[in-house]
Every structure is written in C-alpha cells, then in structure tokens.
Amino acid sequence: MPDPLGPLFDALESINGELTSFAARLARLEDSGAVRGAAKQGASGEDGSNDSTRVPGAPIAWHKVKEDEREELWGGFVAWVIRMADTYELTTEQLPHACWWEHGSVVAELTALWTGWESAYGNEEDAAAGPYLWHDAWSRGIERIGRMWLGECTNGYHQQKSRTVWGTDPAYRKKVIEAGPPGVSGGGPARPEAA
C-alpha cells in the first residue's frame, strides 16, 4: 500500500529545494551589494564619511538634494532625458522640447522613470523582468505627461497653466484643517448612520 503522505513529502522536498536556491541567490546578491557598497565607501574617503555617494536607482527628491550635488545629478538626469527622447522618438505632444524642465510634475515623473531605468538596467545580477517592467512604466509615464501635466505647452512654447496655487494661502490651509475629515464631529458633512 502506497504511503498516503508521500506526495506531501515530495512537495515539501521540492519547496525546500526552491527555498535553498532562493537563499543562495539572496546571499549572492547581498554579497555583491556589500562589495559595491565597500568600493563606494572606500572611494569616498578613508573613514567613509562622505554620504553624498548616491546608489544608482535610489529615489531622488530634487528639493532635498544638497546644493553641491545638484549640478552633477541634474546634468546626468538631463542627459538621460535627452537620450531617451531621441531613442524613443518623442514628439512635442509627448514631451515639449521647449519647456519640459519648467513643469515640476513632469520633472518628478521623468525623475521616477530615470531612477527606475537605473534600477532596471544597473543590476547585472538580477536583470530578469526589470527592463520589460521599466518599458511598461515608461509608456504609462509618457502618456500621463502628455495627457495630464502639460497644458498648452505642446504647441511649441511654454504657457503656464491657469490654476490656483494651493500652498501659498495660510488661511486656506487653516480652514481645511479646522474643518476636519468628513463624518467626524465638527468636520465636514455628517455621514448617515448605518442601519
């Protein structure tokens, strides 16, 4: 009579083999990251005190970039945008040649695409689906830029959007904070009670 738990043990053995393989791969990735990190740390100074070394693919918030790092980082970003615009044959409707850098939302979208690209193409250990996923993000990002954030700039010159700037009116902020969230005592319209 066959052992009724045999298939279960076979499945567990297979899972154990996969986990062992994943653990070995993770260890290799951690080792390669540690080696790269040590090389960067050694390049920054004897004690590794220079914390300005940016890991490719790390997120960037331009308003937080230190002034002494901004010029080099911005130059690399601009070079990447220009290369991608030429490589992917972007039109002015997709990314206005005359003013893309004057739109904070466009710069934020392109910055996210840049750091994603660095991550997808900078990891030789685990390229897998990264480039494919990056291309998917690229097409969605470029569509968003052209559809949502450019206003009238697709006609060849920069035109500011007609809009109210929310962050410059302290009275507005105070009014919204005092109103509180909906359905809370003193905050917004009351929600009907559940039956």
pLDDT digit string, tens, across residues 112-140: 999 999 988 887 766 678 899 999 999 99
**Distances in whole angstroms, Cα of residue 21 to Cα of each of 14, 18, 31, 52, 193:** 11, 5, 15, 35, 54
**Distances in whole angstroms, Cα of residue 172 to Cα of each of 120, 161, 181, 189, 190:** 42, 21, 15, 18, 21
Query: What is the average pLDDT score of the chain?
Result: 76
Q: pLDDT band at residue 15, thresholds of 50, 70 and 90?
A: confident
Q: pLDDT band at residue 37, thresholds of 50, 70 and 90?
A: very low
Q: Does residue 60 have a pLDDT over 80?
A: yes
Q: pLDDT band at residue 61, thresholds of 50, 70 and 90?
A: very high
Residue 43's pLDDT is: 39
Q: pLDDT band at residue 63, thresholds of 50, 70 and 90?
A: very high
Q: pLDDT band at residue 55, thresholds of 50, 70 and 90?
A: confident
In this structure, what are the phi and psi dihedrals at residue 103, rounded to the nearest 5 degrees? -110, 110
Residue 97's pLDDT is: 83
Residue 40's pLDDT is: 43
Closest-CA residue to 65 (of 34, 107, 118): 107
pTM: 0.59
Residue written as token pair 């480039």: 131
Instruction: Compute the radius of gyration of the chain from its Cα atoms.
Output: 25
In this structure, what are the phi and psi dihedrals at residue 137, rounded to the nearest 5 degrees? -65, -40
Strand partners, 187: 184
Q: Which residue has the higher pLDDT, 79 or 127?
A: 79
pLDDT tens digits, one per residue of 134-190: 999 999 999 988 877 666 666 666 666 656 677 778 887 888 888 888 876 655 555
Residue 173's pLDDT is: 81
Q: What percent of the chain clears pLDDT 70, i.e. is strictly above it?
A: 64
Q: Which two tokens stand for residue 2?
A: 């066959």
Residue 108's pLDDT is: 93
